[in-house]
Structures are given as C-alpha cells and as structure tokens.
C-alpha cells in the first residue's frame, strides 16, 4: 500500500492511496472461503461448491466491500496518526472511482480531497484577561424579590366589595333554563368588558349578565360553571349570580411565620437578617448565569485571539453535499460565519485537550448521566442504596440506548469533554473579579 499526502496550500490537500493485490487479496480469499463453506447451491452439497463458482458469483462484491472497508480505515488511521487538522469529511474523487474496471484491474488508485485548518498554537500567557462577574443584589432587587415572596406565600382574606383580582363565590342560575350551581368566579378569568358588572358589588347582591360575554372561551366558562368543557359550550344566554362570599390574596406580612416559611424554622430572627439572606439567595441564583457568561467570554477570547485559516470553498461545497440539497448556496453563505466559529472553537478545544492531556473516560460520562437523572427526578443527594441502584440503571440504559445509534453517549461525552477543557482554560487565563448589579448583568447577558 502506498499513501501520499500532497498539500496544495495550508488549507487544501489531497490524499492518494494505491492498493496492490498484496494489500487486499489475503482478506478477500479468506472471505471467499467462508462463503464457500456457507453457500447453498442446488446440485452441490453444503461446503462443496467449487471455488471458481463462488468466485464468479461473489468475487466482485467481496472485493469491492473489502477495498471500501480498507480505504475507510486507512484514511481515518492516516489522519489520526499524522494529527492532520481535517475539517469536514474527506471527499473521494468519484470520477476516478467510477472508472475502475473491477473485473480486470488488480492495482487500484484512489484520491481524496482534504480540507485542513492551518497550523496554530495557544499560549494562555498571551491571551487577555476575562471578567468573572460577582452579582451584587441592590435594595431594589431585594425589595422586588421579597414582594414576590410575599405574593407567593400570600394569605387569604375576605372582602366586603368585589375587587378586580378577587374570587367571588355564590349561586349561578340560568334565567330561562334549568341550570343552577354553587360555584366560584375568578375575576382574573373574566372578560374585561364584563368585570364592571361585578366590581364594587357586595355580599348578598345579585348580578344579571350574559355568560358567554363574561367568559368567551369554553375553558374559562367550564371553570366558572363547574361543568366539563364540552358541556360548557352549550351554556349561553342570561344568568344571575348571587354573591355569597368574596376572597382575595393579601401579601404575607413580614413576620417570623413568613421568615420560617421561606427559609425554614429559625433560619433568621428579624427582617434585617431576612434581607441579608435574600441577597445571598439572589447572588446564588445568578451564579450559574455568571458561570455561563464566563464560559462564553472564555470561548470568545479563545476564538478572537487564535488565528486559524480554514478551507472556505471546500467547506461550503462539503456543506452543500453533506446536506443533500436541504440548503441553498445563499443560505449556507448566510450561516457560514457562525459555522466557522464553531469549527474553530472545536479545533481550539481539541488542541487544548491534546496539550494538557485532557481525556474523558466512561466512568466520568456515567457520573454525569447519573447526576442528570438525579436532577430530573429530584433525587439530588440521596443516600438510599436502592435509589442509587435505580439511578445507575436508568443512566446506563440512557447511555446504551441503541435506538439513537449512541447519540446519547456522544452528546454526554462531548458535554463532559467541553466542561473539562473550559475548566482547564479557566485555570490558565487571568480572571478579574468584577462586582456588578443585577440590572447591569442582565444587560450584559442580552448583549451576548
């Protein structure tokens, strides 16, 4: 076998492979013998079909399959062993392949076009610093969060007059029909045009109204009348509603009972301590977003400060071919910049992993999957042995699911790999801690 790499430029090359009978004949002969032992042909006992007949019937197909298999492995091995920065897939010269005379040729020559990334290196010492944002909760953010918590842990109160957001209880009757029910009207589900008939009314008063005007859609009408959705469609016309009670949500008071409900019994003893805890919770809630923004900034810094040339024309043609007409040349051109950024970023991550000897083993992938299962089912931190066995079984089944051709394993592997590479880059880059308000942080995220 003869393999030659010819580089036309830093980003374009061709790989030429020449095969002689010594390369493929031993394996082809072996498979022909296997066929001869297994093939069943009328007039011959099993295993006694003449070799010449087996060769005539199956020789060409076995030869083609074996050479294609050899080529695939040879190209992959050559790229890996020579650490070529290949982008896209090697594209075979189909014209020369189609011209092969499989019946008479014994030597075969094949050619592949390769797209290469230019040589590059990463020196973390030359890269600019990145910001690690520390979100500081201001008074306005603390006040807003506490107000939301007061609404979430609201108390129920009874009112004397119907208000816009109240729920009113009473007896609903059809004026010219038999329908009657004790029910509740959530005012926030009522049509705006109809609310005026109820707002300001007191307990004991009777309101006459048109049901389908107050509750135009069938779902809200079903909730208001207490019947099934399909039955509510038939309820229409004039109804009366006698108000028996009026309830409303009132924000929880800032007292010990409220503090205990939110943070746990005895966690804080006064409002000042409560506000301090809320500020800590806000910072904690934004820590994941802050870490994600740092990750994006690290990736952005790596891409912008690592010059890499790509074989643009090769990649555009390859994208057209691999997507089989799903995109027009104009669409590929429009999305090409984003595509090349992802290609360069992956090349950079692979380079970092190679230099830092970063590897991912099966146990790391399995642990990441176990953690995903725990989070999805709410089993975080469980010490129950049977539960951990169940989590392990679910995780392994997910990774080994044959229905998606190993994609679950691949995607999880890639996620763990990315996390390790970015984690390493974080230790090599200079990070500058910067305090920032919640609003300023939100603005930064929107701009990203």
8 part of a folded domain:
yes
* Confidence check: pLDDT of 195 > 80: yes
The confidence score (pLDDT) of residue 231 equals 87
Taking Cα atoms as reference points, which of 88, 81, 95 lies closest to residue 5?
81
Average pLDDT, the chain: 91
Residues 245 and 319 in one domain: no
Q: Which of 198, 228, 250 is the last residue of a domain?
A: 250
Taking Cα atoms as reference points, which of 177, 325, 332 lies closest to residue 240?
177
Residues 246 and 292 in one domain: no
Are 97 and 111 a contacting pair, CB within 8 Å? no
Are 185 and 168 a contacting pair, CB within 8 Å? yes
The confidence score (pLDDT) of residue 45 equals 67
Residues 305 and 414 in one domain: yes
Q: Which of 227, 250, 273 is the last residue of a domain?
A: 250
Share of the chain above pLDDT 70, in %: 98
> At 301, which CATH number?
1.10.3120
* Confidence check: pLDDT of 48 > 70: no
Instruction: Please give the structure tokens belonging to residue 128.
Output: 């600019």
Q: From residue 190, give the alpha-carbon distance in Å to each of 168, 193, 194, 202, 218.
A: 11, 8, 7, 18, 12
Highest mean pLDDT among 4-18, 57-71, 91-105, 137-151: 4-18
Q: pLDDT tens-digit profile of 410-448? A: 999 999 999 999 999 999 999 999 988 888 888 888 887
Rg (CA), the chain: 36
> At 99, which CATH number?
3.30.70.1050
Length of the chain: 448
332 part of a folded domain:
yes
Look at strands 12-19 and 2-7 and give their pairing: antiparallel
Residues 103 and 164 in one domain: no
192 part of a folded domain:
yes
Taking Cα atoms as reference points, which of 328, 338, 415, 331 lies closest to residue 369?
415
Q: Quote the number of domains for the chain.
A: 3
Q: What are phi and psi of 382, to 5 degrees?
A: -70, 135
Give the DSSP letter string of 201-249: -BTT-EEEEEHHHHS-SHHHHHHHHTS-HHHHTT--SEEEEEEEEEEEE
* Confidence check: pLDDT of 44 > 80: no
**Domain span holding position 188:** 155-250
Q: What is the DSSP letter of 127?
A: S
Residues 439 and 309 in one domain: yes
Residues 436 and 290 in one domain: yes
Which residues are CB-neighbours of 417 under 8 A, at least 6 positions away? 349, 353, 358, 360
Residues 364 and 430 in one domain: yes
Q: pLDDT tens-digit profile of 51-75? A: 777 778 778 898 999 999 999 999 9
pTM of the shown model: 0.68
Distance separating alpha carbons of residues 94 and 355, to the nearest angstrom: 37
Residues 306 and 425 in one domain: yes
Q: pLDDT tens-digit profile of 320-370? A: 988 887 888 999 999 999 999 999 999 999 999 999 999 999 999 999 999
Q: Which of 116, 145, 167 is the last residue of a domain?
A: 116
């Amino acid at each position: 076998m003869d393999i030659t790499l010819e580089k036309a430029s830093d980003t374009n090359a061709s790989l030429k492979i020449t095969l002689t009978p010594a390369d493929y004949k031993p394996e082809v002969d072996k498979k022909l013998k296997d066929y001869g032992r297994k093939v069943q042909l009328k007039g011959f006992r099993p295993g006694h079909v003449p070799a010449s007949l087996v060769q005539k019937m199956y020789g060409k197909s076995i030869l083609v399959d074996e050479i294609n298999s050899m080529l695939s492995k040879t190209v992959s091995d050559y790229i890996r062993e020579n650490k070529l920065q290949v982008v896209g897939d090697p594209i075979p010269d189909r014209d020369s392949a189609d011209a092969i005379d499989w019946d008479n040729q014994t030597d075969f020559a094949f050619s592949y076009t390769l797209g290469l990334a230019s040589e590059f290196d990463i020196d973390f010492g030359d890269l600019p610093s990145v910001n690690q944002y520390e979100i500081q909760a201001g008074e306005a953010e603390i006040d807003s969060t506490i107000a939301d918590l007061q609404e979430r842990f609201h108390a129920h109160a009874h009112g004397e007059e119907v208000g816009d957001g109240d729920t009113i209880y009473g007896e609903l009757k059809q004026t010219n029909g038999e329908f009657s029910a004790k029910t509740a009207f959530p005012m926030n589900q009522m049509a705006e045009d109809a609310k005026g008939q109820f707002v300001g009314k007191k307990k004991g008063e009777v309101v006459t109204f048109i049901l389908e005007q107050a509750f135009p859609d069938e779902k809200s009408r079903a909730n208001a009348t207490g019947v099934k959705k399909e039955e509510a469609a038939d309820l229409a016309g004039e109804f009366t509603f006698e108000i028996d009670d009026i309830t409303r949500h009132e924000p929880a008071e800032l007292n010990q009972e409220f503090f205990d409900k939110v943070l746990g019994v005895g966690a804080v003893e006064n409002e000042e301590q409560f506000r301090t805890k809320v500020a800590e919770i806000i910072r904690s809630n934004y820590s994941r977003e802050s870490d994600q923004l740092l990750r994006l900034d690290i990736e952005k810094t790596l891409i912008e400060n690592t010059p890499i040339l790509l074989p643009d024309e090769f990649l555009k043609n390859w994208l057209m071919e691999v997507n089989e007409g799903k995109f027009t040349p104009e669409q590929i051109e429009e999305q090409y910049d984003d595509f090349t950024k992802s290609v360069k970023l992956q090349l950079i991550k692979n380079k970092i992993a190679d230099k830092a000897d970063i590897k991912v083993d099966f146990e790391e992938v399995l642990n990441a999957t176990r953690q995903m299962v725990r989070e999805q089912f709410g089993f975080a931190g469980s010490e129950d042995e049977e539960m951990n066995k169940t989590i392990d079984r679910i995780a392994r089944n997910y990774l080994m699911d044959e229905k998606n051709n190993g994609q679950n394993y691949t995607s999880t592997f890639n996620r763990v790999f990315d996390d390790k590479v970015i984690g390493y880059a974080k230790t090599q880059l200079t990070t500058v801690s910067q305090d920032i308000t919640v609003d300023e942080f939100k603005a930064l995220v929107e701009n990203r």
